[in-house]
């Protein structure tokens, strides 16, 4: 396993601008950096909420996510995840939380959202920083450009509209098997599935 | 090292936040012990981030950032610090401990057929439609032969069991459906305890077919 700690100079060069800004928020409560993050990620999170059928709560979700970013930024470790990945997981969890709160019948929620869906770098028993982890976002972004539209459409519905594979199949009027094979082809190119062979 | 893992498509649905709580729990318990699947979920989370970035732009209401600032300024700083130090120290109880405590063997098990005990914990997931069941097969014990009407997701919490498909050890993950007719046997010297999420009741195929609720409903 390659660790970045042995090559700090090179590792520093891999830090993307958003991760640098997020680190400034975490270390120095830098409000300018926080504002820059808001301008970049705020609209993305708002769209995410709207695509998920939370149109009337879209800005509320953005607000929840940003308050959470502020509170947790001291835990952010750029070696564990790129800022955008870290922020995506917070947005996802806040969306799940919001839906749970709307749907719950009793006040008691024995298991919290974050007991199930964790934020990268928190509550982990593994201190190892892998190059894989850091590179994964760049690799995903590059490979995504080469995927056929039909594969991207399916993935977008799963991630942005929280649709199950079955729901995507129903909506597009194609068999479930076709949806699954499109996802598999895409994940193959993104090298998610390739790792199965090493297991 | 586990040999039975969740399918990558299931990990993707987990990463997208689309699984029900009981299903997410099965995945979480596996991830906590499986570095390979954690690494796959990391990549999938990055996929989520890139998908979010590729969506159309939206406009934010003016004054929104100011209202966020006033919210963080009114924050209770003690509560804030508490959250982060607890997280840093890794002191959070696991989801399993929160649900079931520390002693799986001491739970109020209900004896079913011979070697099998069950405990329905569906009520710990308010608002969910699925049935969530713990099952215990005594060490060396056999469960009656059965097949499955719907899909059943199982994670091994303690001990191990074996069937025609192989040996399933602690934290192994398996999904069974209509095509799987199996007769699990608890192997090793510990009782085998599993957590299963059922989308439909199990259909018995062997001599026990008139009885209800054996090792897996």
- Contact (Cβ atoms closer than 8 angstroms) between residue A117 and residue A89: yes
Domain ranges for chain A: 14-125, 146-199
In-domain check, residue B209? no
Strand order across the beta sheet in which B185-187 lies:
B166-168, B160-163, B185-187
Asked if residue B116 and residue B42 are part of one domain, the reply reads no
What digits encode the pLDDT tens for the residues A129-168? 556 666 678 888 888 889 999 999 999 999 999 999 999 9
Mean pLDDT of A112-116: 89
- Give the end-to-end CA distance of chain B in Å, rounded to a whole number: 29
Q: Which residue has the higher pLDDT, B102 or A59?
A: A59
**Structural domain containing residue B176:** 100-204
Instruction: Say whether residue B174 is in contact with chain A using an 8 A CB cutoff.
Output: no
Out of B62, B88, B114, pick the residue that ends a domain.
B88
Please check whether residue A165 touches B, CB under 8 A.
yes
- CA separation for the pair A155, A138 (Å, rounded): 18
Q: Which of A85, A104, A120, A152 to mutate to test the interface with B (most CBs of B within 10 A)?
A: A85
User: Which residue, B32, B59, B88, sits at the end of a domain?
Assistant: B88
Q: Could you tell me if residue B76 is inside a domain?
A: yes
**Which residues are B185's β-sheet partners?**
B142, B162
Q: Confirm or reject contact between A27 and chain B (CB < 8 A).
A: no
- Are residue B181 and residue B157 in the same domain, yes or no? yes
Nearest CA among A92, A66, A59, A46 for reference residue B72: A66
CATH number for region A14-125: 1.10.1740.10
CATH of A146-199, one of 3.40.50.300, 1.10.10.10, 3.20.20.70, 1.10.3720.10: 1.10.10.10
Alpha-carbon distance A5 to nearest alpha carbon in chain B (angstroms): 19
Phi, psi of B17 (to 5 degrees): 80, 30
Give the residue among A69, A89, A93, A19 at the shortest CA–CA distance from B45: A89
- Please indicate, yes or no, if residue B213 is contained in any of the structural domains: no
Q: Which residue has the higher pLDDT, A140 or A128?
A: A140
Show which of B66, B88, B110 is a domain's final residue.
Answer: B88
B20 and B82 belong to one structural domain: yes
Q: Is B97 on the interface with A (CB under 8 A)?
A: no
- Is B117 within a domain? yes
Nearest CA in chain B to A188: B8
- What pLDDT was estimated at residue B98? 87
Query: How do beta strands B192-198 and B131-137 pair?
Result: antiparallel
- Residues with Cβ within 8 Å of A4's Cβ and at least 6 positions away in sequence, in order, are A10, A11, A14, A79, A129, A131, A134
How many Cβ pairs within 8 Å bridge chains A and B?
A: 206
Regions of chain B short of the pLDDT cut 50:
207-217
**How many structural domains is chain B composed of?**
2
CATH code of the domain containing B159: 2.60.120.10
**Does any domain span residue B199?**
yes
Q: Other CB atoms closer than 10 Å to residue A18's CB: what's the count?
A: 21
| pLDDT of amino acid A29 | 94
Whether B215 is in a domain gets the answer no
- State the Cα–Cα distance between residues B202 and B199, nearest whole angstrom: 9
User: CA A18 to CA A47: how far, in whole Å?
Assistant: 19
Q: How far apart are CA B87 and CA B106, in angstroms?
A: 29
Residue A136: predicted pLDDT: 74
For chain B, say whether A88 makes contact (Cβ under 8 Å).
Answer: yes
Residue B29 located in a structural domain: yes
Q: To 5 degrees, how large is the angle CA B209–CA B215–CA B217?
A: 65
Distance CA B91, CA A125 (A): 11
* Same structural domain, B105 and B181: yes
Is A50 in the B-facing interface, judged by CB distances under 8 Å?
A: yes
Distance CA B20, CA B157 (A): 19
CA distance B155 to B98: 17
Residue with tokens 């969890």: A93
- B117 and B200 in a single domain? The answer is yes
- Give the ipTM: 0.88
**CB-based contact A144 B54, cutoff 8 Å:** yes
Cβ of A192 and B43 within 8 Å? Answer: yes
Min Cα distance A165 → chain B (Å) is: 8
Section A106-110 average pLDDT: 66
Collapsing DSSP to helix, strand or coil, B128 comes out as coil
pLDDT at A108: 67
Q: In terms of domains, do B106 and B187 share one?
A: yes
């Amino acid at each position: 396993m390659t660790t970045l700690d042995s090559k700090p100079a090179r590792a520093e060069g891999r830090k993307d601008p958003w991760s640098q800004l997020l680190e400034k928020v975490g270390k120095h409560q830098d409000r300018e950096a926080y504002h820059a993050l808001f301008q970049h990620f705020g609209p993305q999170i708002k769209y995410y909420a709207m695509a998920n059928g939370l149109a009337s709560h879209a800005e509320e979700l953005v607000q929840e996510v940003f308050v959470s970013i502020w509170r947790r930024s001291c835990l952010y470790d750029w070696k564990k995840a790129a800022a955008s990945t870290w922020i995506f997981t917070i947005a996802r969890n806040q969306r799940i939380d919001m839906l749970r709160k709307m749907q719950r019948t009793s006040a008691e929620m024995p298991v919290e959202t974050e007991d199930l869906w964790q934020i990268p770098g928190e509550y982990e028993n593994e201190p190892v920083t892998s190059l894989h982890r850091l590179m994964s976002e760049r690799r995903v972004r590059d490979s995504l450009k080469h995927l056929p539209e039909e594969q991207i459409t399916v993935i977008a519905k799963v991630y942005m509209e929280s649709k199950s594979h079955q729901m995507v199949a129903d909506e597009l009027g194609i068999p479930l098997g076709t949806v699954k094979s499109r996802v598999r082809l895409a994940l193959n190119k993104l090298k998610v599935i390739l790792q199965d062979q090493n297991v | 090292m586990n040999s039975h893992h969740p399918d990558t498509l299931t990990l993707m649905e987990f990463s997208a936040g689309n699984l029900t709580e009981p299903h997410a729990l099965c995945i979480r318990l596996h991830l906590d012990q499986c570095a390979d699947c954690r690494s796959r979920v990391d990549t999938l989370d990055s996929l989520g981030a890139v998908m979010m970035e590729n969506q159309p732009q939206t406009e934010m209401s003016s004054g929104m950032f100011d209202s966020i600032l006033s919210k963080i300024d009114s924050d209770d700083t003690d509560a804030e610090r508490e959250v982060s130090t607890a997280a840093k120290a890794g002191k959070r109880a696991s989801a399993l401990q929160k649900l079931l405590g520390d002693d799986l063997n001491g739970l109020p098990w209900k004896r079913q057929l011979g070697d099998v005990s069950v405990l329905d914990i569906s009520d710990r997931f308010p608002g969910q439609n699925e049935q969530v069941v713990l099952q215990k097969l005594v060490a060396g014990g056999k469960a009656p032969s059965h097949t499955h009407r719907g899909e059943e997701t199982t994670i091994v919490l303690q001990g191990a069991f074996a069937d025609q498909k192989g040996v399933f050890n602690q934290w192994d993950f398996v999904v069974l459906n209509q095509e799987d007719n199996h007769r699990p046997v608890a192997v090793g010297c510990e009782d085998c305890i599993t957590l299963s999420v059922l989308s439909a009741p199990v259909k018995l195929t062997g001599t026990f077919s008139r009885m209800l609720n054996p090792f897996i409903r």
